[in-house]
Structure 1
Amino acid sequence: MLLGLSPLSLFHCKILVICAIYGLLVTKAYGSDLSSQGDLSSQGDLSSQGDLSSQGEPSSEEKPSYWTQSAYWLEHSRDSWSEKVDWLARGIDRFFAGKETLDFANKSYVRIRAGGSWTEGLGYVDDSDLKFRLHLPATEKRFSIIIESTTEEKETLEEKSRPGLSQNTPIDEGTVTAAIEFVRSQTKLWKTRTLLGVKAQVPGDIFAKFSAKRRWELDDYWTMPYRFKVSEYLSDGLEIEHSLAFERPLMNELFFSAETSMEWTEEDNIMNEAQIFSIKQRLSDSQGIDYRLGFLGQDVAKPRLTSTFLSAHYRELLYKNWLYWNIIPELNFPRDNGFEPVASLTLRFEIFFQK
């Protein structure tokens, strides 16, 4: 049971996303309705001077249309869910902290993603999912409690590198974690984070995580961000990730990045590697494209290239700050297919419930 309400299946998630898209198509009616209401109110004195008998039932043109009423209802439903997410997080926080939580920024949210990919030779693959995070910042001055679904923890380095490739991981006891986050240390050079928690499964899987990141300013244009993360799971053993990138802005709202990432797990004893070249283009305040050329490999007995891909990730904010859509065409050249091209097209919608 999520958020103290009845379970929300992925089927219902899709329906909600479809309804939101449906509502988006009619939100343009807001302006016309509001302007028409303004015109009617400005004519109040003139209409009052007319025959009172003519002021009966309002005409159909004065009533909000069915489409507009539907849009209002959909937006109200989303806002209501966002209130419940925030209320639940603050209620739990208040219980543990024993203090008022309104003064603390709450980063709790629920994200519903609906969509999938059409891949050459495979057809349609659904990757709809639901992710949530309850952030309890006021529990203590030196640490906070985080309860979340960690679907990205089960993603491989390839799935993290390719925007069109995402693992469909349902929420179950193996993906929900509760952790204590100790106060983040932020010095002049490094930012660190320490987590100690347990997976909500029987028996519980205790884990500890430490991450650190830093950014070097090489000159007036180039920067070099570095990120390191080490995790220790009671059942799966040690996991190590790190990445190093070179970044700089270009002309005409373009941003270049060359990132090298490595990931090693004790369970598989395999080093996965990724080299990603990216150019991000800002089209407007609500639109952007991420062009990528990637090389993926593994180091078992010796390093080898496993695949190469080309992709363009278009992302747009459709409505306010909570409804997005993503279109990702991609060409993948996997070793298993003799490095022959495999085309795919991914379409996803996302709704965020967050205050």
Structure 2
Amino acid sequence: MTSASALALSPEPSLQGDREQLIAPLPATPFADDTPYTSQTDIDPALLDRSKDWLAGYLNRLSGNIDSFFVDSFFSEEITDDDVKGSRAKLSLYTRRVLGDPVDYKFGLSVKLVLPHTNERLNLLLDSEDEDNREADPIESVENVNYTAALRFIVRETDQWKTNVDAGIRWGVPPNPFIRFRARRYAYLSEWELKATQTLFYFSLDGWGEETRLQMDYPLNTEKLFRINAKAGYLLNDEYFKLSYDAGLYHELSSKAALGFVAGASGDTEVDATFYSYYAGVRYRRQVYSNWVFAEVAPEFIWDRDKNYDTTPVIMFRLESVIARD
């Protein structure tokens, strides 16, 4: 059993193989019996320059990949069912206090189970609904949770593409069956690492819809990563887009702690393309027990149209466990 943070510190198998090749011992020379070696081989300077450039690029890509995976492991809300192989479970309880409002609580559960004897092509998913509804009592936050259960089929999974189809049901009264198709493309543009995701879905009660996401990562060094996210969602029955974007600077303080400076905005196109809710804050997250229990504190300021864009302080505390088995 490992944590997402432990995974973050281990390079991918292919990268590890490359690293072992880099440090592999030189083969024995044919003059191991102390026979004098008098011949001389000229070294091409251009070859040395190309080798240096290749090694510099390799190390840069390696550090960048480690940084982005570390950030995902610490801060991504989709880490259990998205980009990490193997079965995962995430359990969280957090409390949020907006100045002038009572304290509220929210319980979250996300499970991905890789079904045996399917070559990891079939996954069973169970998720609590990611809604803004919160409860004033922590016990009620656990009891009053809506869940979604789905069976996922992995259509294609390569270094550049990942496509899957989900079929499931959103539990409630009445139940809400759905089907969802997702395609994800990974790409590199100069120093940027890009991840574009397109999702098409149909819910029996809500109708057809789609969601488009773009994530761009730029590694500043082996400890810092700059990230930009943009998202647009469209529901055919609503006939307008919901928009959001955010940016963050993430700093790996140690193998057990990370700090993020984040800011973002949300809006829609119901009348015109308008953003009417803004926020800026800090997220500090730390491993607090063994390698699978984490605590997070996130103070921030929000500016919302419903409050005449007055500056409103908010603070959030989260306790979360991430359980993994490859």
TM-score (norm 1): 0.60
Which of 172, 183, 192 is the equivalent residue of 2:163?
A: 192
Q: Distance in 2 between matches of 1:118 and 1:173?
A: 20
Q: How far 1:252 sits from its partner (Å)?
A: 6.5
- Specify the alignment match of 2:314 in structure 1: 344
> Which runs of no fewer than 5 residues in structure 2 stay unpaired?
1-84, 135-139
8 Å CA contact retained: 1:265, 1:271: yes
Q: Could you report, residue by residue, the CA deviation over 1:109-151 in whole angstroms, capped at 9, with x for unpaired residues? A: 351x233112111131222x14142514226458425141332
CA change 1:174–1:323 in 2 (3 A) is closer
* Pair 1:215 & 2:215 matched: no
Q: Distance in 2 between matches of 1:251 and 1:144?
A: 37
Q: Distance in 2 between matches of 1:313 and 1:324?
A: 13
- Specify the alignment match of 2:151 in structure 1: 180
- Specify the alignment match of 1:83 in structure 2: none
8 Å CA contact retained: 1:182, 1:193: yes
Which of 220, 238, 245 is the equivalent residue of 1:275?
A: 245
- Specify the alignment match of 1:120 in structure 2: 99
Q: Distance in 1 between matches of 2:239 and 2:86?
A: 38
Paired residues, number:
236
8 Å CA contact retained: 1:139, 1:145: no
Q: Distance in 2 between matches of 1:289 and 1:206?
A: 39
Deviates more, 1:312-321 or 1:190-199: 190-199
8 Å CA contact retained: 2:215, 2:228: yes
* Pair 1:229 & 2:206 matched: no
- Specify the alignment match of 2:113 in structure 1: 135
Which of 269, 272, 282 is the equivalent residue of 1:299?
A: 269
> Which runs of no fewer than 5 residues in structure 1 stay unpaired?
1-104, 160-167
Q: Distance in 2 between matches of 1:252 and 1:145?
A: 33
Q: How far 1:204 sits from its partner (Å)?
A: 3.9
- Specify the alignment match of 2:300 in structure 1: 330
Q: Which has the higher contact order (CA 8 A, sep 6+)?
A: 2
8 Å CA contact retained: 1:317, 1:323: yes
- Specify the alignment match of 2:281 in structure 1: 311
Which structure's residues are more often helix, by fraction? Answer: 1
- Specify the alignment match of 1:109 in structure 2: 89
SS at match of 1:123: coil
Q: Could you report, residue by residue, the CA deviation over 1:15-65 in whole angstroms, capped at 9, with x for unpaired residues? A: xxxxxxxxxxxxxxxxxxxxxxxxxxxxxxxxxxxxxxxxxxxxxxxxxxx
Q: Distance in 1 between matches of 2:244 and 2:284?
A: 22
8 Å CA contact retained: 1:305, 1:335: no
Which of 232, 246, 251 is the equivalent residue of 2:216?
A: 246
- Specify the alignment match of 2:256 in structure 1: 286
Which structure's residues are more often strand, by fraction? Answer: 2
TM-score (norm 2): 0.65
Point out the structure with max Rg over C-alpha: 1
Q: Could you report, residue by residue, the CA deviation over 1:277-323 in whole angstroms, capped at 9, with x for unpaired residues? A: 11111100011011112122211121112111101111101122221
